[in-house]
Amino acid sequence: SQQGEEDPQALSIQEGENATMNCSYKTSINNLQWYRQNSGRGLVHLILIRSNEREKHSGRLRVTLDTSKKSSSLLITASRAADTASYFCATDGGGNNRLAFGKGNQVVVIP
Amino acid sequence: EADIYQTPRYLVIGTGKKITLECSQTMGHDKMYWYQQDPGMELHLIHYSYGVNSTEKGDLSSESTVSRIRTEHFPLTLESARPSHTSQYLCASSRWTGRPEQFFGPGTRLTVL
Task: Determine the pLDDT at residue B61.
Answer: 80
Question: Would you call B98 helix, strand, or coil by DSSP?
Answer: coil
Q: Please tell me the total number of residues recorded for chain A in this structure.
A: 111
Q: Mind telling me how many Å the CA of B112 is from chain A's nearest CA?
A: 18
Task: Determine the pLDDT at residue A1.
Answer: 30
Task: Determine the pLDDT at residue B60.
Answer: 83
Task: Determine the pLDDT at residue A97.
Answer: 67
Residue pLDDT, tens place only, B27-67: 999 999 999 999 888 899 999 999 999 999 988 888 899 99
How many whole angstroms separate alpha carbon B60 and alpha carbon B47? 9
Residue B13 has pLDDT above 70, yes or no: yes
Residues of chain A with pLDDT under 50: 1-2
CB contact under 8 A, B45 and A92: no
Question: Would you call B71 helix, strand, or coil by DSSP?
Answer: coil
CA distances from B58 to A62, A85, A87, B38, B47 (A): 31, 26, 22, 16, 5
Residue B110 has pLDDT above 50, yes or no: yes
Query: Phi, psi at residue B84, to the nearest 5°?
Result: -65, -15
Interface residue A1 vs chain B (CB under 8 A): yes
Name chain A contacts of B54, Cβ cutoff 8 Å. Answer: none
Q: Which letter does DSSP use for residue B64 in this model?
A: -
Query: Phi, psi at residue A95, to the nearest 5°?
Result: 90, -70
Interface residue B34 vs chain A (CB under 8 A): no
CB contact under 8 A, A43 and B43: yes
Name chain A contacts of B101, Cβ cutoff 8 Å. Answer: 33, 45, 48
Tell me whether strands B43-51 and B54-57 are parallel, antiparallel or unpaired.
antiparallel
CB contact under 8 A, A33 and B92: no
Residue pLDDT, tens place only, B91-100: 999 987 777 8
Task: Determine the pLDDT at residue A2.
Answer: 35
| Averaged pLDDT of chain B | 93
Interface residue A101 vs chain B (CB under 8 A): yes
